[in-house]
Structure 1
């Protein structure tokens, strides 16, 4: 079994250090936690990514942290199985709400609780009553694990700390709520310009009508466009057919695929060439001569090598970065751009922007009170950003109450009351100084389950009480420009999905940043979702994908919310000596994690990345 463990780790591109204690310890983990060698390797990969370890060697010093990771996984699995057992949180609520008599039991029922979802438990009201006229005493006395936090906000990670003058967090500023609201609201602020570069498909479009022809055309066009990009540079020689036997070294372009179902490994890599050059045939790749590569299914690569027998293409070089056209690297100011309707004219300096960015879920898993969202909006009121970017899921289909069907309102009503009404109050308070951007997720229970995904149609709100001034909804994925700073956003967890499919090899003494490499794949492939076939659970519609998934302009900030550990990284494409193109890639994390708070991002962009300050704030 130790050999099986070692083999599974090797299949996941990890090697085990030469130590007599490591393999027996890993075997003990398998036995104690009833894991197969493949499950253990998968758990190690999840721990490796979440802890942001460097190198691909499993060392003895990693085992203690890995054991803690396995223990946490076992606890989460046990908690999911015990759904019908009272937790300590339930007991605390019953104790603090009184003696637990029949009347109080009715008041604490799910139905009664959902009727009070629209009440903001963290916002003080005048005259002892809420805006709705209800007595806030009952809701104020409810104790939730989220409300029992001692520290509301703390800087979890700070990028470019030397430039943190505008973003420094102080306890006095965070906790200062004594300033007069009127004084705060009349304070002059700088508006930001907002231009949509790409936001497809449109609301109301037909989806899930794609055919096999659409899938073929999507892949074929990707290969053809990439072939043209490589050919126009004139740096790689004449293009040849990789499937034809040849003793001479040739250059070919194709799509990386797997020879069977399951995960890709270095023995199962195939190269699918275009129908124009090789009738769409595939050839097996031999990678043993390569000291460094990073490949995943669906990746378009240029490859140099020989095919002496006609059955194996022996690769000597792999070019996994597509040549970036000038119109993508340096897009014109008005290229395919349309201004947001009723957007305020800009009065702020060019390429200077303050923004707060958060990704759902926006409520904890034990209730639908949306307390993390309330805290985020309260924080945004104090910090007064020019842009507030909220990425779904907003009504999370993975929430326990949604999955069990224990809510007594429609998903759309929850979205309107808990999200839109709160954002309406926020924009009315902030005025035109802050613009809110919403992006949906395929996990949104009240929206179309398709990817690419149309924006929320806020113009179809039947109730006149919901005004959407200074609130803009964009598609998933989308690109937009704010104060000439280009943002690219995709709410599908493409990083986590790529991490499970990618295979890589690095020189023994070279340290690699795997998270950075995964994010760079999107820029090199010029696609928000380059993985093919798509991961399980991603409803990719190939009839909508060609234009919607393309990255039309090289972004200054790339937003990729993920279940992986939050991070801020600077990605570089090209040669540093020739002026490499740089972009800031950000995973703000999830605003709510389980029954507690998560993280969000505060960004102060200042003309260039070197002068930009960003902080991941734990709530």
Structure 2
């Protein structure tokens, strides 16, 4: 088994530092936790990504931390199998002792007091109000929540600053006095224009009606679109049938598939071609001659190689991205465009530079020990101190994985929680900040109060007199704010790609930035969800606007919330051949606003015309 473990590590691109010692420990892990070598290496990849390890060498010093990671996975698996199992902590004992007398008394509803009215009139007070307010879904508690006990409210964890020195001086003071308890009303900067692009499903649409034909057509159209773009670039030959035996080199375009179940390996890679060129047949793909590649199931690639036997295509080159020169003109191929903000300012036409300031946060917006939504309150308090032109909130809002939601112990419907805890707070925020404030919300498949389907329609919200300030976007979706194109998708595609990707980098020996490589797959495939077959928990429905998953041109900003570590990265696409323009995109994973019983992170971004002129900060809450 030690040999199998070593082979699995090498197959995934990892080398062992102290080989004998590490293999002994890994063998013990497999025996104790009943793991296969492939499962062990998959767990190591998750641990490797979460710890943001730079080298692809497995160090003996990381084995203790890896053991804790395996133990946590085993514990989560047990809790998932036995959902009624509850692990008591000292906090539960304290709550029982403090609330013992209150449990005996019968709660008699009364009229609202002045205290309640005062609390509702100050929605952005960052202090914890767990007694007597209407935000709590549980019993009143005398205890301060773990979230309220934290000492540092806002800490800058990471910063990218490409602005000139004259602007840097202003930004140095950007995060000063974050602990100031006095919230002053400050007017936002100039109101931003907002135009939504795309053709996602409409609210109230019917789903779960997709057929095999819909899936086939969607995949076939992806291959055809990719082949047309590669051919129109003039850099490659016309695609041919790679299943025919031939000694000469051919160029083929198809989709990467895995033979059977499980992860990709050297012997299970297949290339599925289009119906036009080979009747949709599959051929085995041999990548042993390549020193560098990165593939995953569902990826559309162009392959140069020859097939001497008719059974295996031996690749000499793999093209995994569309040249920037081949991008279609949106004016010639217009997508359905809908302007949700009909009061676009006349100043929009006079913009000479694309400027936008935004706060970006991804759910969950409440900690796992309550439904007080304290992190959201803190975020809105921060936004009222430093008003952005656009506040972007990405789901889940009413998280179906929250312990109280999952167990069904709440006494309100999911829609009531959403409108009382989320929409009401946002209405209070925009009313408090004035007509220039703008909020954009994006749903998630984890939202208990929304359609469990992907692509996902926008929320049906009808805020009175505020419809131009609170906008709901489809998932995934693309919009333009002050002419800055922004794409966002709340499905954790980065984590899913990390589990399925197979890569090799033997060119220079230096490990590549894996998170940048995963995010680049989204841009190079021109798809928010290029993985196929989809992950088990993703309700992908090809009968619902499959074009909503694709984008024709690279956006300026790409927002991909993930459970993996937060980041802000500048991605480069193109420029590999002469005359090809290099495009840059800012990719952002804001992390989660709430993590367990504590706070998480969000992103503050000031964009001034390009990826080379921006200031981005990841702030811990």
What is the CA-CA distance between 1:391 and the residue it aligns to? 0.5
Question: Aligned partners of 2:67, 2:223: CA distance in 1, in Å?
Answer: 44
Aligned pairs for 1:353-432 (under 5 A) are 353-432=356-435
Residues 229 and 327 of structure 2 are in contact (CA less than 8 Å); yes or no, is this contact kept in structure 1?
no
Residues 364 and 396 of structure 2 are in contact (CA less than 8 Å); yes or no, is this contact kept in structure 1?
yes
Give the structure 2 partner of residue 548 of structure 1: 548
Unaligned segments of structure 2, at least 5 residues: 108-115
Give the structure 1 partner of residue 113 of structure 2: none
What is the CA-CA distance between 1:406 and the residue it aligns to? 0.7
Deviations 1:532-561 (A, max 9, x none): 111111111112243110113311110000
Compared CA separation, residues 510 and 522, structure 1 to 2 (3 A): same
Compared CA separation, residues 259 and 431, structure 1 to 2 (3 A): same
Give the structure 1 partner of residue 530 of structure 2: 530
Aligned pairs for 1:90-239 (under 5 A) are 90-94=92-96, 97=98, 100-103=100-103, 124=125, 141-160=142-161, 164-168=168-172, 172-178=176-182, 181=184, 184-185=185-186, 187=187, 189-239=189-239
What is the CA-CA distance between 1:470 and the residue it aligns to? 0.4
Residues 366 and 594 of structure 2 are in contact (CA less than 8 Å); yes or no, is this contact kept in structure 1?
yes
Give the structure 2 partner of residue 470 of structure 1: 469
Residues 346 and 483 of structure 1 are in contact (CA less than 8 Å); yes or no, is this contact kept in structure 2?
no
Compared CA separation, residues 83 and 523, structure 1 to 2 (3 A): same
Deviations 1:64-113 (A, max 9, x none): 44344345546666787794453222233345x46x32547877xxxxxx
Compared CA separation, residues 311 and 172, structure 1 to 2 (3 A): closer
Residues 188 and 389 of structure 2 are in contact (CA less than 8 Å); yes or no, is this contact kept in structure 1?
no
Compared CA separation, residues 424 and 217, structure 1 to 2 (3 A): same
What is the CA-CA distance between 1:216 and the residue it aligns to? 1.1
Give the structure 2 partner of residue 487 of structure 1: 486
Aligned pairs for 1:441-590 (under 5 A) are 441-459=444-462, 468-507=467-506, 509-575=509-575, 578-590=580-592
Compared CA separation, residues 76 and 119, structure 1 to 2 (3 A): farther
Residues 442 and 450 of structure 1 are in contact (CA less than 8 Å); yes or no, is this contact kept in structure 2?
yes
What is the CA-CA distance between 1:592 and the residue it aligns to? 0.8
What is the CA-CA distance between 1:25 and the residue it aligns to? 2.6
Compared CA separation, residues 259 and 362, structure 1 to 2 (3 A): same
Deviations 1:267-318 (A, max 9, x none): 1011111111111111101111111111111111110011000011111100
What is the CA-CA distance between 1:575 and the residue it aligns to? 1.3
Give the structure 2 partner of residue 438 of structure 1: 441
Give the structure 2 partner of residue 111 of structure 1: none
Compared CA separation, residues 414 and 573, structure 1 to 2 (3 A): same
Question: Aligned partners of 1:29, 1:590: CA distance in 2, in Å?
Answer: 30
Unaligned segments of structure 1, at least 5 residues: 108-115
Identify the range of structure 1 (604-613 vs 298-307) with the bigger mean alpha-carbon deviation.
604-613
> RMSD value over aligned CA atoms?
3.3
Question: Aligned partners of 1:7, 1:392: CA distance in 2, in Å?
Answer: 40
Question: Aligned partners of 2:376, 2:46: CA distance in 1, in Å?
Answer: 28
SS across alignment from 1:173: coil
When the two structures are superposed, what TM-score results if normalisation uses the length of structure 2? 0.88
Question: Aligned partners of 2:55, 2:150: CA distance in 1, in Å?
Answer: 36
Deviations 1:233-264 (A, max 9, x none): 22222432100000011111111111112211
Identify the range of structure 1 (55-64 vs 293-302) with the bigger mean alpha-carbon deviation.
55-64
Residues 190 and 347 of structure 1 are in contact (CA less than 8 Å); yes or no, is this contact kept in structure 2?
no
Residues 220 and 275 of structure 2 are in contact (CA less than 8 Å); yes or no, is this contact kept in structure 1?
yes
Give the structure 1 partner of residue 260 of structure 2: 260
Count of residues paired in the alignment: 598
Question: Aligned partners of 1:286, 1:219: CA distance in 2, in Å?
Answer: 22
Give the structure 2 partner of residue 22 of structure 1: 22
What is the CA-CA distance between 1:37 and the residue it aligns to? 2.8
Question: Aligned partners of 2:130, 2:29: CA distance in 1, in Å?
Answer: 55
Compared CA separation, residues 216 and 133, structure 1 to 2 (3 A): closer
Question: Aligned partners of 2:474, 2:402: CA distance in 1, in Å?
Answer: 23
Identify the range of structure 1 (86-95 vs 562-571) with the bigger mean alpha-carbon deviation.
86-95
What is the CA-CA distance between 1:344 and the residue it aligns to? 4.9
Deviations 1:164-222 (A, max 9, x none): 5454466752122336x5xx25x473111111122511222222211111111111111
What is the CA-CA distance between 1:143 and the residue it aligns to? 1.5
What is the CA-CA distance between 1:61 and the residue it aligns to? 4.1
Question: Aligned partners of 1:431, 1:58: CA distance in 2, in Å?
Answer: 54
